[in-house]
Structure 1
Amino acid sequence: MSPLTKKLGRDLWRIKGQAIAIALVIAVGVLMQVMQTGLVASLDETRRAYYERYRLAEIFAPVARTPERLAADLRRIPGVSAVETRIVGHALLDMPGIDLPLQAQAVSLPDFREPRLNNVYLTDGRMFEGDRPDEVVILESFAKAHGLKPGDSLNVTMNGARRTFGIVGFAMSPEFLYSTAPGELVPDDDRFAVLWMSRTALEAAFDMDGAFNEALISLSRGTEPAEVISAADRLLDRFGGLGAYGLEDLQSDKFIAEEIDGLRRTTATVPPVFMAVAAFLLYIVISRMMQAEREEIGLMKAFGYTDWEVGAHYLQLILAIAVSGALFGGLMGIAAGRALVDVYLLYYKFPFLVFRLAPSSFVIGIGASVLAASAGGLFVLRGVFALTPAVAMRAAAPADYSKSLKFDGTLSGFLDQPTRMVLRRLTRQPVRMGGAIVGIAAGVALSAAMAAILASFDEMMELTFDVIDRSDVTVSFIHPIEARSLHDIETMTGVIEVEPVRIVPAILKNGRHTHRGAISGLVELPRPNRAVDADTRAIRLRQDGIILSASLARRLDIAPGDWLTVDVREGRRPEVRLPVIAVAESLMGSPAYMELLALNRALKEPLRVSGAYLRIDTAHAGEIYRALKHMPMVAGVAPKGDSRAAFQEITDRGAGATRYIMALVAGIITFGVIYNAARVAQAERARDLAGLRVLGFTRGEIAFVLLGELAVVTLLALPLGALGGYGLTFAISAGFSTDLYQLPASFGFSTFGQAMVVVVAAAVLSGWVVKRDIDRSDLVLALKTRE
């Protein structure tokens, strides 16, 4: 073992605390890189394989009712490789012991063959027999939520008729990776089921003999979907076509694509921040070590070591820290990725999901971290080449402190000696102290931003379910009905208020920007469910235009005063142009609002409603749910409490759960920065502090001289960190926002206070560790010249 290798081992042991702190920062960056890149690769590859294996359609073409013969015309469209027709309808389930009617979607499969498109993955039991119309296969997640098993029976209401089916199997489908009830955004396994039945059974249930109401289309390689969609719409238009759409507009695929894109965005932005912090820390540690070891560097060169050998020695020190942190982070990233895979299997209904480590992510994570950490050290190593043995072994020229702060007169009498020493060092080395302040401010900013993000999730829940939606129950109908039919609900015992609503599916267009969604028709002054502005004030709905949510307005690149084209996809399916009169705040989905009478007038269908918001006496909830269950016009009932619980579960898993990981990471980085600042200051002043002890200073005074500097630097970093955290909050909240929910950027005194607690705790812990080492230090050894 060469002398330089022995010195490298001693140096690493001497700065082991700093080395571990820096390595942890690097490890966190690599962990995020490997974990998230692996999750992206796993989700993307599993989704592709699942879609391909079970032949998920690329175009969905819903229609009111069209004869089966039209399937041949669809197959003749250029670029179409396969067509499968089917029947899809709404159903209500009556589960024993549950008052609430549960929503279901009934989907037909061919009687005696596998479907050409949208096949299902059977997880338990068997498929139904084609000649047994009373057999059904149900969605596995619903079956598990209710403890069902093959052989159980199921009471179902379809098209107003109540029937009993025997469950013969459980299944999963790529079409329902993210399974939500029609009209809802939040998946809830307890309240939504999918029923796969024979084509013959559903033809009888929905009076569709010899007809279908949805066509599934797959495309030949290289075919442009827009052209096929236009051709399909032209064929189906006269039969009540509701507008064909591509796979990207399928709700299930839309949300998993958003999840994957969110992970990609985080992977591209978060790890580089950690790498930069690590490079900054290494730069500080190595630069100050070089300054402290001027004589050692000169001595090594005097003994014949070349500039390259001495430079390589310090570069090895940097690489030892960087590589060890990167390797540890890579291994932890694999472990974290494998753990999160189980979470995603609950969040999305994949039949399998194996964490797939992308080798490139491991190489990129380790390579980028090592390069980033080494970059800071390389700037310092230039000084090694510039030092000649004679210059290096001579003490550095004393600094000019003639213009620094002087303590004369009253100020000198007011401040004691240790305090003057702290302030004198701060004013004599402003650049070095400025670097420490910036480093700690970066940790403050990250901690403050993550505290704000945690608070923003709570604010989003409160604003959505307490301020915007003040109803207790949402009732939806199978199809638009006359408003006077709500009288049956209004007269129920326990119903306090009923507010009508009409939800109209539509394609919103502004030039080349389009959005497939719906328009919510509300009364002029809605109470249970409102449109609110940025100050959470209720918006009065006028009859002269449409109000868009802020997220939808951004997506369509439209502002109040502009005109919006609305292609209605139900009823007469008119295309109308409406002025945008306001922008509303909404943190769930991307709604658009119109005054109910104005919406019905535009559709030329007066006095129609498709649902209602209810406020009820919870003491009569069971009675109300039972009455709604037996109303043939009711398609679904959604208690707000259940929706809130399901939404809370979503935000605590998947992409939302990463906020906890990032909050932990922010704490690690903050501690690493402050701890390194304290350790560097201790290393630089070890001989000076030992000299003060010899001169008669107590341990407490010595600790005050060192830790007082850390305290002042930390206090100065707090306001700078608050400003950085304010800006960082907006960037992180944008990364967390998806089509399902938009996270408000909420930065207040409470969040900054939480960040201050983290920073102060890190400073106190770092100070305690440093003070303990000062108390244990050997004065003779500290005063010796290290050679």
Structure 2
Amino acid sequence: MTLMPEILAIPGVVTAEARVAGTAVLDLPNRTETAVGRILSWPESDAPLLNVPIQRTGTTPRPGRADEVMVTEPFAEANGFQIGDSFIANINGQARALTITGTVLSPEFIYTIGPGALMPDNEGFGIIWMSEPAVAAAYDMAGAFNALSLRLAADARPAEVLDLLDSLLEPYGGLGAYGRDRQQSDSFVSAEIDQLRGMAMVVPPIFFAISAFLVGMVMSRIVALERAQIGLLKALGYSDLEVCVHYLMLAGLIACFGILIGWGAGTWMARGMASQYAAFFDFPYLIFRVPAWVYAMSGLAALITTLLGAVRAALAAARLAPAIAMQPPAPPRFRRSVIDSVMAALRLSQSTIMVLRSIIRWPVRSGLTALGIGCAVSTVIASSFMYDALDEIMDMAFYQANRQDAMLLFNGDLPETALPDILRLPGVLQAEPQQFHAAVLRNGPREKTVSLEARHPDASLSRVIGAEGQVIVAPPGGILLAERLAGHLDLGVGDTVEVAFLTGRRETHEMIVTGLVEQYFGLGAYVDAGFMDATFRQSARMNVANLMIDEDQLDALHARLQDIPALSGLIMMTDTRTSFLETINENVVIVNGVYATIAILISVGVAYNAARIQMSERARELASLRILGFTRGEVSMILVGEIMLLALLAQPIGWLLGAWIAQAMSNSFTSDLYGIPLVLEADNFAYASLVVLGACLASVLVVRRRIDRMDLVAVMKTRE
């Protein structure tokens, strides 16, 4: 604590708060599995100055009472704790009975995961606050500290403060200072915000483009159907500008209705998403509020998009001369082609020939319809690819790279000669040693703090797996780097990287990059365990043991682990796999449902409007066929067949667009914490096609019913 005046004297430091922190194995009532707690000191004289927890229930530990603690509210709720309940904690090798006096939520632990864990486990990991004298005595830290928080002035330069702080604390074993951006909870929350920001940059423009296309297609058809009315209005004296404004106002009115619907649906979905974040992160409270500028910007974007989509049709209407507009449009020029010869040679039915000729003679209209349906297909692919990507991550991370049932974490380095003792624990079938070392990797001005992993070449429980599923072994004398880490440091195979260790002898060594490996979680760096021991000039050591366990003896193993003083933590990989899978499945189902709904709406919008306008344009033609003896089915085939054939032709377009959007989303999701691979399976494309084709068929069948109710006499009397 004598360093505090020097720390406060660092330029830019406004407030500094030191504390003692440690880990403990917990023996919780009504729980057979081993739990882990992070012990933090609570100032005896006053409340903390920084990272101030919010008191939810109860009171703080009373001065002089070493057995009283506060815990995080999610930990208490998950284990059913009430004020006054007790549990046992193995703190630095001594079992202590602790009594809960209160529950809190801390801004430091919005996303609470245990050491080495990938997912939060509020039942098996909790944060515990004890009075400062009790924690200091338990960890032999009286008058000392091992954790420090700073608040900087607004004009401070964080990099300079961190350098000065590192220089001051290095002789005392400092592990390296870092900014809030590397604090665990801040990193996860910031990564989530960045992911949402990336989606906001990729997804909305795509949907607005699709909307503009749909509006343009519908308005063009409306103008084509209202040629006579346009000509009559112009003959009565309406100007080109008035006609153009009329159709733009029609599009604007449609946009206004759509904006109101979008605001309502968007608010509802945003509230649901906020509720999910409130359940996933441990926020003390959550105020749901959509700023007014969001409604304004979204409404303005929708209005501009709609008008841009309608402007071509509106200008076309304005350019129509009255005499020309009041006449039917000139039929397309017919000229026999090779396609007609092929259709004749194939002896196709008359209905099929009419469908094909309609598509061929109106290529622009057919192409735009197919493009709209393809956009719907791409929407489903862009969302459902995430499920395949996460499945790939699960397989790579949990079943190929990390195949162990559990990981034992120790307070310090143990000799590998302790491995036989671990093998004698109840239910342990296999045990392998592993080392983790905090280190700073540097390449010129670039540097990154990572956890360096060391394992033996014959390790089978924890391995390094390449992108093609092959096992990659770090050769002695070299270092393997994750591709994203190598990108941060601008390193390639054969380059030399400076490794400054923050543990053990705290030495700095140069290592050759012998390979790059694709990795989805974190920024990994890997070396050979024997090479690491030789580098540190020590016998074979380990600080983690990977285990294969007999499930029938889990209870006995957990009971034995709670009595091991050197144990600082336990990660049950089987539980982590299950938790990760459940969380992912829940989120993916919701996201896929939303995007499938959007795709169905787009499909219905394109197919229904195309069929409905086709029906209006060709009503006289279809009625003539009925009078000539064509059955309802044959006449319906002309309408249904054309739209469904275009829908089939749209599938490859949608597949290509979906793959491109999925690639953009995959790139936007990449961060230091994780990376999302681009995985596009055949069933992904099949699912998207089935959803869209089903929606198109349902839409066209609704229009087809009008053919059955068609008044043939009234239709034939209608002027062409």
Q: What TM-score, normalized by structure 2, do the two folds share?
A: 0.96
Whole-angstrom distance in 1 between the partners of 2:416 and 2:105: 38
> 1:138-179: CA deviations, max 9, x gaps?
011111000001110121111111111110000011111111
Q: Is the 8 A contact 1:347 1:654 kept in 2?
A: no
Instruction: Say which of 612, 615, 618 aligns to 2:545.
Output: 612
Structure 2 counterpart of 1:263: 196
Alignment of 1:460-609 (within 5 A): 460-609=393-542
Deviation digits for residues 9-62 of structure 1, max 9, x if unmatched? xxxxxxxxxxxxxxxxxxxxxxxxxxxxxxxxxxxxxxxxxxxxxxxxxxxxxx
Structure 1 spans left out of the alignment, 5+ residues: 1-67
SS of residue matched to 2:707? helix
- What CA RMSD, in Å, does the superposition of the two structures yield over aligned residues? 2.1
Asked whether 1:642 is paired with 2:575, we answer yes
**Does structure 1 residue 290 correspond to structure 2 residue 223?**
yes
Q: Establish whether residue 206 from structure 1 lines up as the match of residue 139 from structure 2.
A: yes
Report what 2:389 is aligned to: 456
Counterpart position of 1:53: none
The residue number in structure 2 matching 1:379 is 312
**Deviation of 1:228 (Å):** 0.6
Query: Is the CA contact (8 Å cut-off) linking 1:678 and 1:770 kept in structure 2?
Result: yes
* Deviation readout 1:58-86 (Å, 9 max, x if unpaired): xxxxxxxxxx1101100001111011111
- Where 2:503 maps in the other structure, the secondary structure is coil
Aligned-residue offset at 1:323: 1.4
Letter in 2 for 1:746: V
Counterpart secondary structure, 1:118: coil
Q: Which deviates more, 514-523 or 715-724? A: 715-724
Tell me the equivalent position of 2:81: 148
Unaligned runs of 5+ in 2: none
Change (3 A) 1:175 1:295: same
Check conservation: 2:215, 2:309, Cα contact below 8 A.
yes
Instruction: Report SS of the residue matched to 2:114.
Output: coil
CA distance in 1, matches of 2:252, 2:288: 29
Q: Cα gap change, 1:524/1:339 in structure 2, threshold over 3 Å: closer, same or farther?
A: same
**Equivalences for residues 320-331 of structure 1 within 5 A:** 320-331=253-264
Residue in structure 1 matched with residue 333 of structure 2 by the alignment:
400
Say whether the 8 Å CA contact 2:198–2:665 is kept in structure 1: no
How much has 1:439 moved relative to structure 2? 1.8
| 8 Å contact kept, 1:675–1:763 | yes
Q: How far off is 1:473 after superposition?
A: 0.9
Task: State the partner residue of 2:606.
Answer: 673
Would you say the 8 A contact 1:341–1:354 is kept in 2?
A: no
Q: Give, as a single letter, the amino acid of the residue that structure 1 aligns with 2:231.
A: G
* 1:80-229 → structure 2 map (5 Å cutoff): 80-229=13-162
Distance change >3 Å, CA 419–CA 653, structure 1 → 2? closer
CA drift at 1:403: 5.2
The whole-number CA distance in structure 1 between the counterparts of 2:369 and 2:81 is 61
Q: Is the 8 A contact 2:71 2:102 kept in 1?
A: yes
Compared CA separation, residues 292 and 120, structure 1 to 2 (3 A): same
State how far apart, in whole Å, the 2-side matches of 1:312 and 1:786 are: 28
Inter-CA distance 606–656: structure 2 relative to 1 (3 Å threshold): farther
Change (3 A) 1:538 1:215: same
Q: What corresponds to 1:52 in structure 2?
A: none
1:446 aligns with 2:379: yes
User: In structure 2, what is the Cα distance between the partners aligned to 1:555 and 1:249?
Assistant: 15
Partners of 1:665 and 1:758 in 2: CA distance = 11
Q: Distance in 2 between matches of 1:717 and 1:772?
A: 25
- Return the alpha-carbon distance in structure 2 between the equivalents of residues 668 and 525 of structure 1: 55
- Contact kept in structure 1, 2:603 and 2:696, CA below 8 Å: no
Report the counterpart of residue 690 of structure 1 in structure 2: 623
Q: Is the 8 A contact 2:343 2:353 kept in 1?
A: no
* C-alpha contact (below 8 Å) 1:447/1:667 kept by paired residues: no
Query: Is the CA contact (8 Å cut-off) linking 1:531 and 1:585 kept in structure 2?
Result: no
What amino acid does structure 2 have at the position aligned with 1:165?
L
Tell me, yes or no, if structure 1 residue 753 matches structure 2 residue 686.
yes
Residues 249, 516 of structure 1: 8 Å contact kept = no
Indicate the larger mover: 101-110 or 514-523.
514-523
Distance (Å, rounded) in 2 between the aligned partners of 1:568 and 1:676: 66
Against the structure 1 CA distance between its residues 511 and 130, is the aligned structure 2 distance closer, same or farther, given a 3 Å change threshold? same
CA contact (8 A) 2:22 2:39 kept: yes
User: Could you tell me which of 623, 627, 630 is aligned with 2:556?
Assistant: 623
Partner AA of 1:418 in structure 2: S
Q: 1:469 to 1:783 in 2, by over 3 A?
A: farther
| Structure 1 residue 780, shift from structure 2 partner | 4.3
Counterpart code for 1:194: I
Q: Is the 8 A contact 1:87 1:213 kept in 2?
A: yes
2:261 alignment partner, SS class: helix
Write the distance in 1 (CA, Å) between the matches of 2:434 and 2:516. 19
What letter matches 1:477 in structure 2? Answer: F
* Alpha-carbon contact 1:656-1:736 (below 8 Å) kept: no
What per-residue deviation string (whole Å, max 9, x for no partner) do you get for residues 677-720 of structure 1?
Answer: 33343333233223322333221111111111112212222223
Asked whether the equivalents of residues 380 and 595 of structure 2 are also in contact (C-alpha less than 8 Å), the reply is no
Q: How far has the Cα of 1:349 moved from its partner?
A: 1.0
Q: Which amino acid aligns with 2:42?
A: L
Is the 1:670–1:762 contact (alpha carbons within 8 Å) kept by the matching residues of 2? yes
Q: Check the 8 A contact 2:380/2:658 in 1, yes or no.
A: yes
Equivalent residues of 1:347, 1:650 under 8 A apart:
no
1:431 & 1:84 partners in 2: Cα distance? 70
Which is worse superposed, 137-146 or 588-597? 588-597
CA distance in 2, matches of 1:558, 1:653: 38
**Is the counterpart of residue 305 in structure 1 residue 224 in structure 2?**
no
Please state whether the residue corresponding to 1:212 is helix, strand or coil. coil
Task: Write the mapping of 1:223-372 to structure 2, written as runs, cut at 5 A.
Answer: 223-372=156-305
For 1:514 and 1:182, locate their aligned partners in 2 and report how far apart those are by CA, in whole Å.
23
Which whole-Å CA distance do the structure 2 matches of 1:781 and 1:355 have between them? 57
Decide whether the 8 Å contact of 1:283 with 1:380 is kept in 2. Answer: yes
SS of corresponding position for 1:741? coil
Give the Å deviation of 1:585: 2.9
The amino acid that maps onto 2:620 is R
| Letter of the 2:577 counterpart | R
Q: 1:427 to 1:562 in 2, by over 3 A?
A: same
Quick one: which amino acid aligns to residue 334 of structure 1? Answer: T
The alignment covers a number of residue pairs equal to 720
Partner of 1:415 in structure 2? 348
- Report the Cα distance in structure 2 between the residues aligned to 1:246 and 1:130, rounded to whole angstroms: 32
Equivalent residues of 2:640, 2:701 under 8 A apart: no
Other structure's SS at 2:679 match: coil
Counterparts in 2 of 1:341 and 1:74: CA distance versus 1, 3 Å = same
Alignment partners' CA distance in 2, 1:451 and 1:417? 40
2:387–2:588 Cα contact (<8 Å) kept: no
* Aligned CA distance change for structure 1 residues 654 and 556 (closer, same or farther; 3 Å): farther
Give the secondary-structure state (helix, strand or coil) at the position aligned to 1:606: coil
Residue type of the alignment partner of 2:518: E
- Indicate conservation of the 8 Å contact 1:90/1:158, yes or no: yes
SS in 2 for 1:245: coil
